[in-house]
């Protein structure tokens, strides 16, 4: 228990300290040297990924919100801590209905290459809109993570947008579906970037995954 409290406190301090954008990597040759543990963020376009990154970092504009869906095909790296302790990796959003086929293909190659070759990648967070639950395209990404043996947490976003009873129903269904994926961690986080609920818990989980 004391260790858990200590972890939460250290996570709180870490995320209150320096957090900076490092670079955008459009291909594997542009990745930073693998010297620091990484946590990757994945999710359908508009799921609230940029907002969540900003909420975690307690900044308004660290990650750009509402990117044109399907446009960015880059891995964006953010650095936390001085001395540097963790890199957060913002993966391009997916599941954009009108995305051209070759763009989807490029996305797959980039993500697969990154997931399979990155030893410093300690965990992925797969963001799921609390109103909608898991979609087929989320399962595809979860399959990719399973195949690459990258352990991941599901993170429900925009929890403030649904009633508690609805949220409980969607969450229960998500737990059942997640159990079918070998690399999915049983702990699912529920967050709101709007109210800040679940953000501290997620910071703690991020730190824990890197230690």
Residues 65-104 that bind ligand GDP (CB under 6 A): 65-67, 93
Residues 167-206 that bind ligand GDP (CB under 6 A): 192-194
Pick the closer one to ligand GDP by CB: 37 or 93.
Answer: 93
Interacting residues of 109 by C-beta distance below 8 A, sequence separation 6+: none
Question: Of 171, 175, 150, which is closest to residue 162 (Cα–Cα)?
Answer: 171
Q: Are 77 and 32 in contact (CB under 8 A)?
A: yes
Smallest gap from Cβ 106 to ligand GDP, in A, equals 18
Q: Are 49 and 95 in contact (CB under 8 A)?
A: no
CA–CA distances in Å: residue 68 to residues 48, 92, 149: 13, 11, 30
Pick the closer one to ligand GDP by CB: 83 or 163.
Answer: 163
Q: Is 160 in the site for ligand GDP (CB under 6 A)?
A: yes
Pick the closer one to ligand GDP by CB: 7 or 137.
Answer: 137
Smallest gap from Cβ 46 to ligand GDP, in A, equals 4
Cα separation, 46 vs 69, in Å, equals 7
Smallest gap from Cβ 45 to ligand GDP, in A, equals 5
């Amino acid at each position: 228990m004391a260790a858990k409290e200590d972890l939460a406190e250290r996570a709180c301090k870490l995320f209150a300290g320096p957090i900076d954008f490092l670079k955008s990597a459009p291909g594997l040759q542009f990745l930073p040297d693998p010297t620091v543990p990484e946590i990757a963020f994945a999710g359908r376009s508009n799921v609230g990924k940029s907002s969540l990154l900003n909420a975690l970092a307690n900044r308004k504009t660290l990650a750009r919100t509402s990117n044109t869906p399907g446009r960015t095909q880059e891995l964006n790296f953010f650095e936390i801590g001085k001395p540097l302790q963790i890199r957060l990796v913002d993966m391009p959003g997916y599941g954009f209905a009108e995305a051209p086929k070759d763009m989807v293909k490029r996305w797959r190659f980039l993500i697969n290459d990154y997931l399979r070759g990155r030893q410093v990648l300690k965990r992925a967070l797969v963001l799921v809109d609390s109103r909608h639950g898991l979609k087929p395209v989320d399962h595809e990404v979860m399959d990719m993570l399973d195949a690459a043996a990258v352990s991941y947490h599901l993170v429900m976003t925009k929890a403030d947008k649904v009633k508690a009873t609805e949220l409980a129903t969607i969450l229960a269904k998500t737990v059942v579906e997640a159990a079918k994926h070998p690399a999915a961690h049983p702990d699912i986080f529920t967050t709101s970037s709007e109210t800040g609920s679940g953000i501290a818990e997620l910071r703690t989980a991020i730190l824990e995954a890197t230690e």
